[in-house]
């Protein structure tokens, strides 16, 4: 139980937040609050070797919707340290601190807890011990495991080993090198108070490129030196004797950065045993996501709080309002794309529509763009039914630079910066070069190439300026590497898209923005009904459209398979993705035997 809790004065912090001191068990904690105290309270707990300022970007994004609380863990930042340090950082005492803060900032209703790194390790303790039941409405864990769950995970792999389990154990063992260092006596303190403390900001910038400004704080060397006792007081004891009853009594949202250098994704494979109400999320990022991905964290935290806020239950009576409805993503990629903003061009039909609906089924917010405004609106409406929490239809001609600039400005102002851009809009044009006029060339290049350029430059520029990563998908074609005597304009436009994607991928790699070129083969869409055939009269054009539509119909490869390839490409950050057997075979031949393809290109297709 907590003892000796007092709550002192409210002042103004350096960032304009309301600061107070909370005393408990001889420790004085520095607590900062922002937002309306009448709203649901979100408590953000920092990790090692950080202070509460690691959460400043996320807190600022949440404060307009919630009562946001951050505090310096004992021995860190502007909170006092226990004396002696040994035995002063146990999870039991950290639980006392959390309960004191929760009582001070939200005495009448449970709080929504969020933890990163060691803040998450603490959060797992708070969410699984009985004395905190009723004080936690939800818990969001970011890049930090439960030591009890970790102990059981290790025990299972050592007592019942298989090659796969041993590989997982060795993999996490290698990632945990820093734990062994921090368990050694004296050396961590000397390093942090010496060269490591001075160089840490530069090391962190090199590893993850977080935005600067108030972080790390000048107290970091001393915080890190004292914080080594977090490991010494807890890790050996809990891993040797994990609690057998460490079941979560609140709903948990697990956010796993896929590029975490310190924690394996496999650590959470058996988490469902311990957490009856579990929501999983994955994020293409490294460890310090509160600094590098604050926008996405704020969206996920906000949605989870909104879904699980049941009103006052601690210390007050009264009706409990029903949680605000939040759509539950059902698609296979819901962990990755739930709540993310995805813009798809050419979304009224075909591959674009199928792609927008696939992202919607994964819980993404959708901006469906097409020059057919009615069709774009229809896709947006269907996307909401498919699982998108929000979806909007926008009208724009991707080949019109001014229209695309207006669209980019509107999307950023009203919906936010796009997380995934799919440049899909395209038109078909067939006919030999000598029968293809200048206006024909201009039309196909305006849409197929310039539309992609406008999208990459405008929306990709917004991603780069935000500095929180993202992904660009450009729909090229197998025609990009399969020459044909009757598709010179179309093939040229798609080959240019493929090369543009490759160049852009190299340019944006350092900004954590992936670029993928998708190269479908023969896909059954309505492009065959709208494609033009140069150099023939209208009757012949209609005949060829009908014949090509029949041929594509017999092939019967649906656009939904291309959409699935798009989502996989984003998840795996694939550079070039051929879709359909003929596209894969053609890409292989283009690399090993281009002479064969040149010979095939001379054949006159039966149209």
pLDDT at 541: 64
The total number of structural domains that make up the chain: 2
pLDDT at 552: 63
Residues facing residue 404 across a β-bridge: none
Exposed, middle or buried by CB within 10 Å (0-12, 13-18, 19+), for 65? middle
Question: What's the rounded Cα separation, in Å, for the pair 228 and 28?
Answer: 19
Say whether the peptide bond before residue 216 is cis (omega within 30 degrees of 0).
yes
The answer to whether the Cα torsion of 8, 9, 14, 15 is positive or negative is positive
Q: Is residue 333 domain-resident?
A: no
Return the CATH number at 22: 3.40.50.1820
Q: Is residue 607 domain-resident?
A: no
Contact 298, 62 (CB under 8 A): yes
Q: Is residue 226 domain-resident?
A: yes
Residue 295 main-chain phi, psi, to 5 deg: -60, -50
Say whether both 295 and 377 belong to one domain: no
Residue 578 main-chain phi, psi, to 5 deg: -75, 140
Using one digit for the tens of pLDDT, what is the confidence trace for 278-318? Answer: 999 999 999 999 999 999 999 999 999 999 987 544 433 33
- Helix, strand, coil shares of the chain, percent, nearest 5, are 50, 15, 35
Say whether both 301 and 359 belong to one domain: no
pLDDT at 531: 66
Residues of the chain short of pLDDT 50, as ranges, are: 1-3, 312-326
Say whether both 349 and 297 belong to one domain: no
SS (H, E, C) 291-353: HHCHHHHHHHHHHHHHHHCCCCCCCCCCCCCCCCCCCCCCCCCHHHHCCCEEEEECCCCHHHH
* 440-444: long-range pairs with CB below 8 Å, 24+: 440/489, 440/532, 440/534, 441/489, 444/489, 444/490, 444/493
SS (H, E, C) 169-196: HHHHHHHCHHHHHHHCCCHHHHHHHCHH
Q: Is residue 485 domain-resident?
A: yes
Say whether both 160 and 68 belong to one domain: yes
- CA distances for 429 relative to 273, 474, 550, 575, angstroms: 56, 19, 17, 26
Pairing between β-strand 341-345 and β-strand 365-370 as defined by DSSP bridges? parallel
Say whether both 188 and 264 belong to one domain: yes
Question: What's the rounded Cα separation, in Å, for the pair 497 and 518?
Answer: 10
Question: What's the rounded Cα separation, in Å, for the pair 359 and 162?
Answer: 37
pLDDT at 15: 62
Question: What's the rounded Cα separation, in Å, for the pair 179 and 145?
Answer: 14
> For 413, left (φ over 0), alpha (ψ -120 to 50), or beta?
alpha
- Residue partners of 90: CB distance under 8 A and separation at least 6: 233, 234
Question: What's the rounded Cα separation, in Å, for the pair 215 and 560?
Answer: 45
The dihedral formed by the CA atoms of 539, 543, 549 and 552, expressed in degrees to the nearest 10? -140
Return the CATH number at 386: 3.40.50.720
Say whether both 408 and 518 belong to one domain: yes
Question: What's the rounded Cα separation, in Å, for the pair 607 and 593?
Answer: 27
Using one digit for the tens of pLDDT, what is the confidence trace for 311-343? Answer: 544 433 333 344 444 455 666 799 999 999 999
- Helix (H) or strand (E) holding 439, with range, is helix 438-445
Say whether both 140 and 245 belong to one domain: yes
Residues spanned by the domain of 227: 6-308
- CA distances for 147 relative to 1, 86, 92, 253, 326, angstroms: 21, 19, 13, 17, 31
Say whether both 365 and 270 belong to one domain: no
Question: What's the rounded Cα separation, in Å, for the pair 324 and 329?
Answer: 16
Say whether both 178 and 130 belong to one domain: yes
Q: Is residue 180 domain-resident?
A: yes
Give the DSSP letter string of 125-182.
HHHHSGGGTTTEEEEEEES---HHHHHHHHHHHHHS--HHHHHHHHHHHHHTHHHHHH
SS (H, E, C) 215-235: CCCCCHHHHHHHHHHHHHHHH
Question: What's the rounded Cα separation, in Å, for the pair 444 and 598?
Answer: 23
Question: What's the rounded Cα separation, in Å, for the pair 540 and 558?
Answer: 27
Say whether both 346 and 229 belong to one domain: no
Contact 21, 29 (CB under 8 A): yes
Please identify every residue annotated as catalytic: 490
Q: Is residue 324 domain-resident?
A: no
Question: What's the rounded Cα separation, in Å, for the pair 404 and 338?
Answer: 26
Exposed, middle or buried by CB within 10 Å (0-12, 13-18, 19+), for 384? middle
Say whether both 456 and 407 belong to one domain: yes
- Residue partners of 539: CB distance under 8 A and separation at least 6: none
Say whether both 379 and 515 belong to one domain: yes
Q: Is residue 316 domain-resident?
A: no
Q: Is residue 317 domain-resident?
A: no
């Amino acid at each position: 139980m907590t003892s000796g809790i007092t709550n002192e004065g409210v002042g103004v912090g350096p960032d304009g937040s309301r600061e107070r001191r909370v005393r408990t068990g001889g420790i004085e904690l520095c607590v900062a609050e922002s937002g309306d105290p009448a709203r649901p309270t979100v408590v953000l707990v920092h990790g090692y070797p950080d202070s509460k300022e690691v959460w400043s970007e996320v807190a600022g994004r949440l404060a307009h919707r919630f009562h946001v609380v951050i505090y310096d863990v004992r021995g860190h930042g502007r909170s006092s340290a226990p004396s002696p340090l040994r035995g002063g950082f146990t999870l039991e005492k950290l639980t006392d601190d959390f309960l004191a803060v929760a009582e001070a900032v939200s005495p009448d209703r449970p709080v929504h807890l969020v933890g990163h790194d060691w803040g998450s390790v603490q959060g797992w303790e708070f969410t699984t011990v009985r004395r905190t039941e009723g004080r936690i409405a939800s818990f969001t864990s970011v890049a930090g495991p439960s030591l009890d769950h970790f102990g059981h995970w290790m025990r299972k792999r050592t007592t019942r080993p298989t090659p796969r389990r041993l590989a997982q154990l060795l993999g996490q063992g290698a990632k945990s090198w820093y734990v062994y260092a921090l368990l050694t006596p004296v050396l961590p303190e000397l390093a942090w108070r010496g060269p490591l403390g001075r160089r840490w900001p530069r090391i962190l910038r090199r590893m993850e490129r977080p935005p600067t400004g108030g972080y790390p704080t000048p107290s970091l060397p001393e915080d890190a030196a004292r914080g080594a006792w977090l490991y010494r007081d807890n890790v050996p004891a809990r891993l040797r004797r994990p609690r057998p009853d460490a079941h979560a009594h609140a709903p948990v949202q697990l956010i796993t950065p896929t590029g975490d250098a310190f924690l394996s994704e496999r650590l959470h494979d058996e988490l469902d045993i311990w957490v009856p109400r579990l929501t999983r999320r994955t994020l293409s990022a490294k460890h310090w996501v509160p600094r590098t991905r604050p926008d996405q964290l704020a969206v996920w935290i906000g949605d989870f709080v909104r879904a699980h806020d049941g009103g006052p239950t601690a210390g007050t009576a009264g009706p409990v309002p029903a949680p605000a409805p939040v759509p539950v993503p059902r698609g296979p990629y819901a962990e990755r794309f739930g709540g993310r903003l995805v813009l798809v061009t050419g979304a009224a039909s075909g591959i674009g529509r199928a792609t927008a609906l696939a992202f919607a089924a994964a819980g993404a917010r959708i901006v469906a763009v097409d020059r057919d405004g009615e069709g774009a609106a229809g896709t947006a409406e269907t996307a909401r039914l498919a699982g998108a929490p929000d979806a909007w239809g926008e009208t724009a001609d991707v080949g019109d630079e001014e229209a695309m600039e207006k669209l980019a400005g509107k999307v950023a102002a009203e919906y936010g910066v796009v997380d995934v851009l799919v440049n899909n809009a395209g038109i078909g044009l067939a006919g030999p070069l000598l029968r293809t006029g200048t206006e024909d060339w201009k039309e196909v290049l305006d849409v197929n190439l310039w539309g992609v350029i406008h999208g990459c430059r405008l929306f990709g520029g917004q991603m780069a300026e935000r500095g929180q990563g993202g992904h660009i998908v450009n729909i090229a074609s197998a025609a990009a590497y399969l020459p044909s005597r009757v598709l010179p304009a179309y093939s040229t436009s798609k080959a240019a898209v493929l090369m543009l994607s490759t160049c852009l991928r190299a340019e944006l790699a350092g900004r954590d923005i992936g670029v993928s070129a998708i190269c479908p083969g023969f896909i059954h869409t309505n492009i065959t009904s709208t494609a033009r055939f140069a150099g023939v009269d209208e009757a012949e054009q209609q005949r060829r459209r009908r014949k090509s539509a029949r041929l594509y119909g017999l092939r019967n490869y649906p656009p939904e398979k291309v959409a699935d390839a798009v989502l996989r490409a984003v998840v795996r950050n694939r550079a070039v993705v051929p879709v359909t057997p003929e596209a894969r075979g053609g890409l292989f031949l283009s690399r090993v035997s281009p002479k064969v393809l040149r010979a095939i290109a001379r054949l006159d297709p039966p149209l």
